[in-house]
Structure 1
Amino acid sequence: MRAALRNRLLAATMPLLVPCLLAAGCGGAETTADAEERAGAVALVAPHSKAPTRTTVYFLADNGTVPLGVRRDLMRRPNVPTVRLALEELLAGPTAAERGNGLDTAIPAETKIRSLRIEPRAKGTEAYVDLSGLPAAADAVSKARVMTQVARTLIGLNDIERVRLRVDGRAWALWDLQGNVRDDPIDYERLRGFFHICTAARGTEAMPGDCFTALP
């Protein structure tokens, strides 16, 4: 009687066992379809993928007193580093909707990229950014705004730790005590010094007027 019961159970389970064995074992080796699906997933993250990458570009908020980062999708182009794509987005300025929400930029619309060079250093990579269209006679607050927007947008991309800003091939930064334009790299340590940097209010010598803080 037990033998008959065992035979009936075996007959009932055979339709389930045969497809499993034909498929190289239940939970065993992957099928061709599985392998193709896995290969497709790997292809999505291939180094030369044309899928967009997301980054943050920095504009100005609160009437230009602080920077504010907004997310952008960068469309990859062959042999174009991410840092250049981000710089292009920065120079394009805020969208109409973003301007309607109070965002602005200190970078004039006519500003163009003359060159962009990335140089690895023993103590971190530097980016040399040469632009055209920035005003030569900009005051300290205007320069601090532009320097902050560029540096905060680029630092961290392509391992960049510092940015040197030029306009038409010449250093474009703040001045030393003798009135000469300095050629110091811009990093987060320098940006900390742009804390509540102000010009004097019109008609006064001591009252703060136009102010800006790089790292609020």
Structure 2
Amino acid sequence: MASRTRRYVVAFCIALLAVAAAWRWAHPPEARVSVYFIRAQASSSTVQDVTRTVQGRGPEALLAAAVRELLAGPTPAERGEGLVSAIPAGTHLRGLRIADGVVMVDLSQEIESGGGSSSMLGRLWQIVYTATQFPHAPRVRFLIEGQTRAALGGEGVVIDHPLARPASPPVF
């Protein structure tokens, strides 16, 4: 009889551990990430970070969550503070992975829609700054619909190689 009780107790403990592990997996920890929007000034613009709380395990999941926050655009409060996004509505993240210090960001074709050269530069820098916030992945490579491109949109903004943050924030 004691043997049977012991088996029930062991089975119960294993089941309890499985439930706890499943709950933990379904509820990833929260982390704070930076998302970069545009602050327009009289004759130029630059990127400015805001902090968002996201859920994710590991750098890829956190960066993917940060990029999704970027694509969602500024909150009403952030817009009230003068922050905007140059990224077209409807742009979505198709995938993100990190390989050899390069963040590969695969975006939908909407990223190339509309805008002039200043808008394209704004998009580029918003994504570069958001995607390169972790020191072990300081460069970003753009993919559009899973393909590498020589330039972003028709404006000739070159994206044919991995890009890094410049020494000082860009003004465009």
For normalisation by structure 2, the TM-score amounts to 0.68
Contact 1:82-1:158 within 8 A present in 2 as well: no
> Match of 1:154?
131
Task: Write the letter of the residue equivalent to 1:100.
Answer: G
Task: Write the letter of the residue equivalent to 2:132.
Answer: I
> Match of 2:106?
130
CA apart distance, 1:181: 5.0
Contact 2:29-2:57 within 8 A present in 1 as well: no
> Match of 1:51?
29
Summarize the Cα distance change of 1:79–1:86 in structure 2 as closer, same or farther, 3 Å threshold: closer
CA apart distance, 1:140: 2.8
| Structure 2 runs not aligned, ≥5 long | 1-24
> Match of 2:78?
98
Which has more radius of gyration?
A: 1
CA apart distance, 1:54: 0.5
> Match of 2:122?
145
Task: Write the letter of the residue equivalent to 1:119.
Answer: A
> Match of 2:38?
60
Partners of 2:133 and 2:38 in 1: CA distance: 20
CA apart distance, 1:117: 2.4
CA apart distance, 1:75: 1.8
Give the aligned CA root-mean-square deviation in angstroms.
3.2
Q: Deviations over 1:15-60 (max 9, x none)?
A: xxxxxxxxxxxxxxxxxxxxxxxxxxxxxxxxx7833111111001
Partners of 2:59 and 2:165 in 1: CA distance: 28
For the residue of structure 2 that corresponds to 1:134, the secondary structure is helix
CA apart distance, 1:108: 1.1
Summarize the Cα distance change of 1:180–1:72 in structure 2 as closer, same or farther, 3 Å threshold: closer
Q: Does 1:108 align with 2:88?
A: yes
Task: Write the letter of the residue equivalent to 1:58.
Answer: Y
For the residue of structure 1 that corresponds to 2:163, the secondary structure is coil
Contact 2:102-2:137 within 8 A present in 1 as well: yes
Partners of 1:98 and 1:173 in 2: CA distance: 30
For the residue of structure 1 that corresponds to 2:89, the secondary structure is coil
Task: Select the structure that is richer in helix.
Answer: 2
Q: Deviations over 1:76-129 (max 9, x none)?
A: 269962111111111111001111221100011200112222112xxxx00111
Summarize the Cα distance change of 1:53–1:171 in structure 2 as closer, same or farther, 3 Å threshold: same
Partners of 2:53 and 2:104 in 1: CA distance: 23
Q: Does 1:167 align with 2:144?
A: yes
Contact 1:143-1:174 within 8 A present in 2 as well: yes
Task: Write the letter of the residue equivalent to 1:164.
Answer: R
